[in-house]
Amino acid sequence: MPPVTRRSFLQSGLAGGAFLGLPTSVYRAALGADGEKPSERVRIASIGLGGQGKSNLKAVIKNVVALCDVDSSHLSSAAADLEKAGTKPVAVGDYRKLLDSKDIDAVLISTPDHWHALTTIHACQAGKDVYCEKPLSLFVTEGRAMVKAARDNKRIVQTGSQQRSDPHARFRTACELVRNGALGAIKTVKVGLPGPNFQGPPVPDGKPPANLDYELWLGPAPQRPYNLKRTHYLFRFFWDYSGGQQTNFGAHDLDIAQWGLGMDDSGPVSVEGSATFNKDKWFETPETAKQTFTYANGVVLLCSLGSGGYPGGTTFEGEKGTIHVNRSGLTMTLGGQKVADPYKLPTNETKLYVSGSHHGNWLDCIKTRKLPICDVEIGHRSATVCHLGNIALRTGRKLTWDPVGETIVGDPDAAAMLNRPYRQPWKLG
């Protein structure tokens, strides 16, 4: 069978955005005003409607005109939510059917990680702007291909690492203080990630339920029998689809480490670590882990996963003090004393990108064509840190990373793990 690319799918006659029949006038009029002319409203197709997809849907509900999920029960539940909000959406099981529609401006992708790259790349090629959930990619080569698709097609691509748009500005304040030298020279950054929340016991393989198009759920991932505990939500803990809590939470907290260190277009130069794995192999990704990343300027990033690790979130340690930041708050010490109101400290020289709404920033950028706060390159670099950690844990070796050439130096077997074959007929690009 020839490889499935967006072009071959369109030529096959299986697609046909035109037949979707989304009359612009009907949808735009139905969307209502709300201070924004209906004719100016960005029209979104939301792809992947499980836990996070439903949450994303709420954030942009006024913009959504089309829905896609390979699970018809998730699709109809989201369609019912949208109908309650006053929009009768187009609903499909195959995202490629939406991409040629002139009535869709952008796509919001909340599929499992193994689908992020293809959906993003195909949407960019179809001229749609994209919001893609974190972690941006399943492996490093995918991320670089996603950046290329965004740039080649001049698309706005926001990565769903929404801590950058914290409405309380905790993460931005922490990173601005660090960048402006409030702690003096940074020596160490510590990131504490949670362990797996996988619920045992495992269940045997079986027949996929009638509501799930399992072949399309698998997509580019290796063929294997259906298993309830490898699909919805729990895909996170299996290498074929994700990278465990390392990529799930690392795409938030290692992303903040990268932001604070000013490494948005680069990364560490070496990584090593060790992990423990579930002895019954109910899940494949680590149960606990410790990793050490070193940056070219000598800063050391220590990352723990699971119990007995560093405090949850990101802690910057400098010559003069520390800043710990997570979703519960920002705590700063100087000379061992807690700083009463770190938000009031001056951060004169380096001002970071301000966004108080991750989806709102994406929609604004679609109109202004400015890069979003967590642009695809940033998402790719942060995901790369996560993936490098996993490769070090899986090989058990210290790796040398070249952040310019994006290669692992002197270890061909580890370097081969930067890429993965896709199941036929899927093809990256």
Report in angstroms how near the CB of residue 189 gets to ligand NAD at its nearest: 21
CA distance 244 to 77: 27
Report in angstroms how near the CB of residue 231 gets to ligand NAD at its nearest: 7
Nearer to ligand NAD, 228 or 300 (CB): 228
CA distance 230 to 181: 45
Choose which of 20, 47, 60, 177 interacts with ligand NAD (CB under 6 A). Answer: 47
Binding mask 277-316 for ligand NAD (x = CB under 6 A): ----------------------------------------
3-state helix, strand, coil in the chain (%, to 5): 35, 20, 45
> Considering only residues 201-240, where is the footprint of ligand NAD by CB under 6 A?
216-217, 219, 232-233
Q: Which stretch binds ligand NAD (CB under 6 A): 20-28, 49-57, 264-272, 414-422?
A: 49-57
Nearer to ligand NAD, 22 or 59 (CB): 59
Binding mask 127-166 for ligand NAD (x = CB under 6 A): ------xx-------------------------x-x----
Q: Which stretch binds ligand NAD (CB under 6 A): 9-17, 31-39, 45-53, 393-401?
A: 45-53
Distance of CA 81 to the CA centre of its chain: 24
**In this structure, are residues 183 and 314 in contact, taking their beta carbons and an 8 Å threshold?**
no
The number of beta carbons lying within 10 Å of the beta carbon of residue 192 is 21
Report in angstroms how near the CB of residue 383 gets to ligand NAD at its nearest: 11
- Which residues, other chains included, contact 39 with Cβ-Cβ below 8 Å and sequence gap of 6+? 28
Nearer to ligand NAD, 28 or 128 (CB): 128
CA distance 408 to 242: 20
Position 115 contacts ligand NAD (CB under 6 A): yes
Choose which of 49, 82, 261, 408 interacts with ligand NAD (CB under 6 A). Answer: 49
Surface-to-core class of residue 206, CB atoms within 10 Å of its CB (0-12 exposed, 13-18 middle, 19+ buried): exposed
In the block, tokens 């949850």 appear at: 312
The number of beta carbons lying within 10 Å of the beta carbon of residue 169 is 16
Choose which of 17, 28, 48, 149 interacts with ligand NAD (CB under 6 A). Answer: 48
Residue whose CB is nearest to ligand NAD in the complex, by number? 50
Nearer to ligand NAD, 112 or 268 (CB): 112
Nearer to ligand NAD, 233 or 292 (CB): 233
Nearer to ligand NAD, 111 or 158 (CB): 111
- Which residues, other chains included, contact 311 with Cβ-Cβ below 8 Å and sequence gap of 6+? 190, 192, 324, 326
DSSP element (H, E) containing 82? helix 72-84
Structural tokens at position 87? 């929009």
Nearer to ligand NAD, 70 or 146 (CB): 70
Surface-to-core class of residue 340, CB atoms within 10 Å of its CB (0-12 exposed, 13-18 middle, 19+ buried): exposed
Structural tokens at position 276? 């423990």
CA distance 194 to 236: 13
Binding mask 56-75 for ligand NAD (x = CB under 6 A): ------------xxxx--x-
Position 91 contacts ligand NAD (CB under 6 A): no
Report in angstroms how near the CB of residue 197 gets to ligand NAD at its nearest: 11
- Whole-number CA gyration radius for the chain: 22
DSSP code of residue 290: E
Q: Amino acid letter at 30?
A: A
Nearer to ligand NAD, 28 or 420 (CB): 420
Helix or strand or coil: residue 243? coil
CA distance 182 to 46: 42
Report in angstroms how near the CB of residue 158 gets to ligand NAD at its nearest: 11
Report in angstroms how near the CB of residue 232 gets to ligand NAD at its nearest: 4
Position 95 contacts ligand NAD (CB under 6 A): yes
By the criterion CB under 6 A, which residues form the site for ligand NAD? 47-53, 68-71, 74, 95, 110-113, 115, 133-134, 160, 162, 216-217, 219, 232-233, 248
